[in-house]
Amino acid sequence: MTVSAPTRVLLLGGTSEIGLAIVRRLGLQGSVRPVLLGRDPEALGAALAELERSGCSGGEVGPLDAEDLDGHEAALAHAFDATGGFDVVVLAVGVLGAQAALDAPIEQALEVMRVNFIGCGSLLLHALHRLREQRHGTLVVLSSVAAERPRSGNAIYGAAKAGLDSLAQGLADALAGSGVRVLVVRAGFVRTRMTAGLKPAPMATTPEAVAQATVAALDRRAHTIWVPSRLRYLFAVLRHLPRWLYRRLPL
């Protein structure tokens, strides 16, 4: 009897509820060896213990700070070298803030842009370099429907996600035929700790629903998904509305 090797999964943003749900969902299809990188060692340890209770094994945790750009290359190199490479890398780093747009503190707005675009963009580039070197693997990028057309209330977050989304899409095309794929996940409002206290948007969803859709998309080799899927059709209309009309919508 041949026992298949575990799927090696690297979660950047190792305490992300959506990211952890994706790892657990992958575990339903076979054995998974997870590596979680993030800022809080205690929270990472608790997240790994939860994954192990769900059936994952051989996992590890390590430090990673999205704003420490100089440390990204070494952090990913250590994870790849120690594990022998990864089959799936999930980029789940992100912060939600500056929802008041111009009325938000400037430093809060800058943090959102630094983490969600500069920091995540750096991690995306380093991860893709490593995946290209091993000539296989998939990078899952947690984007947002806000990337499609930012609203006035989430202009900072939406712009940062739009930059990351665009970078991921462009680099995915550059990697065509290399054995490396990029899957961009454009989720709507997801009920998590990060969105606690905010009024849920229409068609709000859960980490588990995002994970289910993501793993299904990995199986069919998709490059972009919307969660819930009907948001694709809604934004097909919204992206073409005149600005004077769009800004009046209660979004």
Catalytic residue numbers read 157
Question: How many whole angstroms from its chain centre is CA 235?
Answer: 20
Paired with 182 in beta bridges are 139
Give alpha helix (H) positions in the chain. 17-27, 41-53, 72-83, 106-113, 120-134, 155-174, 207-219, 231-238, 243-246
Whether 14 and 89 have beta carbons less than 8 Å apart is answered as: no
Beta-carbon contacts of residue 241 (< 8 Å; ≥ 6 apart): 249
Work out the angle between the directed axes of helices 120-134 and 72-83 (0-180°, nearest 10): 30
Q: How far apart are CA 164 and CA 97, in angstroms?
A: 16
Torsion sign (Cα): 220, 224, 229, 230: negative
Q: How many CB atoms lie within 10 A of CB 100?
A: 13
Paired with 144 in beta bridges are none
